Amino acid sequence: MKLLYVEDNPFDRDLTRRTLLKQIPDLEWDTAAGVQEAIGKLAGQQYDLLLLDMWLQDGCGLDVLLHVRRKQLGMAVVVVAGAGDEASVVQFLKADAQDYVPKRGKYLEQLGEHLLRALDRVRQNIRPSTVLTVLYVESNQDDIDLTRRHFERRAPHLNLVVHADGPSALAWLAEPDHHADVALLDLRLPGMSGLELLETLQARYKLPSILITGRGDEAAAAQAMSLGAVDYIIKEHGYVAALPCVIEHAHVLAAYSTLRLAHARLQDSLNPV
């Protein structure tokens, strides 16, 4: 069992190493002092466990966690922090960390158990990944910048793939190794409209999609919903803050729909007419 501990404090690294090797004798130990060193090691070696400090001198541990999930490296992740807040903890857990351990009291005495439980959860696939790829098709650079900044601060588990028009978005999706979990589409795009793109996405990919628009349009809203849009959002004040929840809801609805369809097919095969 191989572990990478990402920690910039050499005292914490040494103390943790000595403690964990007593708790898990067969543990293979490796360390990185920051974000860039960790990403470099993850590119060249395979690990079973990632023990990750929340705050590092060259960035945030969340950058390492998101790299792991976006590369689908499939390792268990436990986060430790000397000082954290509720919002930060939620960000790490939503980005698919298996556990969070505050550096308080005798936390090292239980750290080995936390690591083994996290590894067991990953192996049993108890919790599916919550890092989602969002295909964001928008031609307004101000709106793109506003949305990207908000997501980086409040929803880093949502990976935005931005395209300015429908044809480029469809070309990206057509690549064999490209996949989106949810589409976020502006209604008024150059060339192919958001409604036309929505119709194509539904026909080809069954991709859960959300329409957004700067101006309300009853006919467009009705058409979007009839074409299969999960939601229709008007760009009113504060709308960007609501987008992460709307995107997560769309993903959950799509997963539930897929599950219901699979169940219905199973029932049909068990009870043929």
Task: Express each pLDDT in 48-93 by its tens digit.
Answer: 999 999 989 898 898 999 889 878 888 999 999 887 667 778 788 8
pLDDT digits (tens, 9 = 90+) for 236-273: 999 999 999 999 889 888 877 777 777 677 777 777 76
Specify the DSSP class assigned to residue 109. Answer: H
Numbers of helices and strands, H then E, in the chain: 10, 12
- 133: phi > 0 → left, psi -120 to 50 → alpha, else beta; which? beta
Query: Once rounded to an integer, what is the mean pLDDT over residues 196-200?
Result: 97
Question: Which tokens hold the place of 199?
Answer: 């119709």
3-class DSSP state of 107? helix
**Model confidence at 211: pLDDT above 90:** yes
Measured CA to CA, the distance from residue 254 to residue 49 in angstroms comes to 31
Q: With CA atoms as reference, report the closest residue to 68 among 114, 122, 117.
A: 122
